[in-house]
A and B are shown apart, each in its own frame.
Chain A
Amino acid sequence: GESVGLHLPTLSVQEGDNSIINCAYSNSASDYFIWYKQESGKGPQFIIDIRSNMDKRQGQRVTVLLNKTVKHLSLQIAATQPGDSAVYFCAERPYQGGKLIFGQGTELSVKP
């Protein structure tokens, strides 16, 4: 069935390094993708989104890449900081008007 999954459940990086969090999706018709950040004890927070007609979108220290050929989504965080430690979820919208489907999350741990 349709699913959004993450390749790695945990990721540990050194402070100052770049982080890459990956996500695979199965629905080639999905038209919209989003990354959320969830800090411990809090609700998910929107980070960045990308439409299916784009390959790349940049925000502040974050970049989302979309490869529709292999149905792969990634979130790159530049100069990772301790405050970036959190669980990161990807989500997809399988069709216009459809509800978001969330992946299970990757826990990012930043070592000082």
Chain B
Amino acid sequence: EAQVTQNPRYLITVTGKKLTVTCSQNMNHEYMSWYRQDPGLGLRQIYYSMNVEVTDKGDVPEGYKVSRKEKRNFPLILESPSPNQTSLYFCASRPLRGTFTGELFFGEGSRLTVL
């Protein structure tokens, strides 16, 4: 089954404790992206990647890091989480080849709480 898998789905952590949210897709997509979703603010892009070893900042990259060492994986790293990073996070992917459709394939989300 074609899917984007995120882990963990739920996490409660404390300020300053490094954490990683993993994202993996099995559709051989070139493009992967991380979003955070907050009430009243909608989906905001954190980082994106057009291919292996190619990453770029989105609209709200502060406090986050990403890496793209393999095509299927795009982990989101919070080196020193703070309470303002409490949010619902989504990973998404889509192909870059072929006709553009804009259809992003989203994971189920990771709800992160930073105390």
A residues lining the B interface (CB < 8 Å): 32, 34, 36, 41-46, 49, 89, 91, 93, 99-100, 102-105
Contacts and interface: CB of A to CB of B under 8 A. Distances in A.
A99 B48 contact: yes
A39 to B, nearest CB: 10
B21 to A, nearest CB: 14
A43 B42 contact: no
Contacts, number: 46
Interface string B32-76: 010000001111110010000000001000000000000000000
A44 B43 contact: yes
A44 B101 contact: no
Contacts of B100: 32
B22 to A, nearest CB: 15
A100 B104 CA distance: 10
Nearest to A49: B102
Contacts of B40: 104
A42 B43 contact: no
Interface string B80-98: 0000000000101000000
Contact of A104 (B42, B101, B103, B109): B42
A43 B48 contact: no
A76 B110 CA distance: 30
A89 B103 contact: no
Contact of A100 (B4, B102, B109): B102
Contacts of B92: 43
A103 B107 CA distance: 19
Contacts of B108: 41-43
